[in-house]
Amino acid sequence: MRLGEITALEWKDIDFKRGILRVNHKKDHHTKNYQVRTIPMNDMLMATLKKIPRRLDSPYVFQHKSGERFRKIRTGFEDALKRAGLSGVRFHDRRHTFASHLVMGGVDTRTVQELLGHKDIRMPMRYSHLAPEHMRKAVSLLDSHSEQQDALEESHS
């Protein structure tokens, strides 16, 4: 999710039973490209979100002590980077990491596009070079097809 989508996330956008997040337009925030999307949550994200204390006086998942949503997180993010011993990392880099790991895991570009909320297929295509083994596996499928075809021809002989 983009920073604005995260900071605008409300508890009503999370469906723990179905394991999904809904990225919606809000009164004070719209999604990029004005796209509404549904994102499946993995077990780690669901467990992490369930640990966050829920305030009855605020709809936001991530909020100030006053209940208002965060708008800027620069200081907190930079403090977290220092504690982790990391430098030169931007908040947006985690979206690139997410996409890279999906592509290297063999997830198709169209699915990566939908998960990231990219309007143009060319955006997630930037990560396709990270999965040369995925292309090799795709071509190797022809070997098994060829073997099946040979076996079929032999059975008809």
pLDDT of 131 above 80: no
DSSP character at residue 67: S
Label residue 150 by pLDDT band (50, 70, 90): low
Higher pLDDT, 79 or 147: 79
Closest C-alpha to 3, from 27, 21, 29: 29
Q: What structural domains and CATH numbers belong to the chain?
A: 1-67 (no CATH), 92-157 (1.10.443.10)
How buried is residue 48: exposed, middle or buried, by Cβ count under 10 Å (0-12/13-18/19+)? exposed
Distance between CA atoms of residues 115 and 118, nearest Å: 8
pLDDT tens-digit map of 19-76: 999 988 776 666 666 678 899 999 999 999 999 999 999 999 999 989 888 888 888 8
pLDDT tens-digit map of 109-130: 889 888 888 878 777 677 766 6
Is residue 48 within 8 A of residue 34, CB to CB? The reply is no
